[in-house]
Amino acid sequence: MSSELVTCKDLWLSYGTVTALSGVNLTLAAGRIVGLLGPNGSGKTTLIKLLNGLIQPTSGTVTIQGLTPGPKTKAQVSYLPDRPYFADWMKVGDMLDFFEDFYLDFRRDKAEEMCGRLGLKKNVRIRTLSKGTLEKLQLVLVMSRRSQLYLLDEPIAGVDPAARDFILRTILTNYNEDGTVLLSTHLISDVEQVLDEVVFLQEGHVILHDNVDAIREREGKSVDALFREKFRMGGQGGKDNVW
Partner 1 sequence: MFGKLVKYELRSSGRTLLPIWCAVLVLSAANAVLFSRPSFFESGSRIAMLLTSILPLVLFALWVAMGVLTLIFVIQRFYSGLLKSEGYLMFTLPVRVSSLIGSRLLTATIMELAGSLVGILGIMILLIGQNGINLTVNLGDLLRAIKLEPQAARWGIAALVELVVLGLLSVIEGNLRIYMSIALGHLSRRRRGVLAVGAFIGLCIIISVLNVWAASFSMQILPLSWIDWLTNASWANYALPSLALGLLILRALVLCAVWWLGTQRILTRRLNLE
Interface residues toward partner 1, by CB under 8 A: 15-16, 49, 52-56, 70-72, 74-75, 77, 79, 81, 83-87, 89, 98, 101-103
Nearer to partner 1, 157 or 225 (CB): 157
Residue 230 beta carbon to partner 1: minimum distance, rounded to whole angstroms: 30
Q: Which residues are within 8 A (CB) of 192 and not within 5 positions of it... i.e. 6 or more apart?
A: 35, 212, 222, 223, 224
- Calpha distance 56→195 (Å, rounded): 28
177 close to 31: Cβ distance less than 8 angstroms: yes
What are residue 2's phi and psi, to 5 degrees? -70, 145
Residue 102 beta carbon to partner 1: minimum distance, rounded to whole angstroms: 5
- Calpha distance 225→216 (Å, rounded): 10
Nearer to partner 1, 146 or 230 (CB): 146
Nearer to partner 1, 136 or 230 (CB): 136
Residue 71 beta carbon to partner 1: minimum distance, rounded to whole angstroms: 5
Q: Which residues are within 8 A (CB) of 66 and not within 5 positions of it... i.e. 6 or more apart?
A: 1, 2, 7
Residue 106 beta carbon to partner 1: minimum distance, rounded to whole angstroms: 11
CB atoms within 10 A of CB 94: 16
Helix or strand run (H / E) with residue 166: helix 161-174
Residue 16 beta carbon to partner 1: minimum distance, rounded to whole angstroms: 7
Nearer to partner 1, 2 or 68 (CB): 68
Q: Which residues are within 8 A (CB) of 51 and not within 5 positions of it... i.e. 6 or more apart?
A: 6, 62, 64, 69, 77, 149, 151, 182
Nearer to partner 1, 145 or 230 (CB): 145
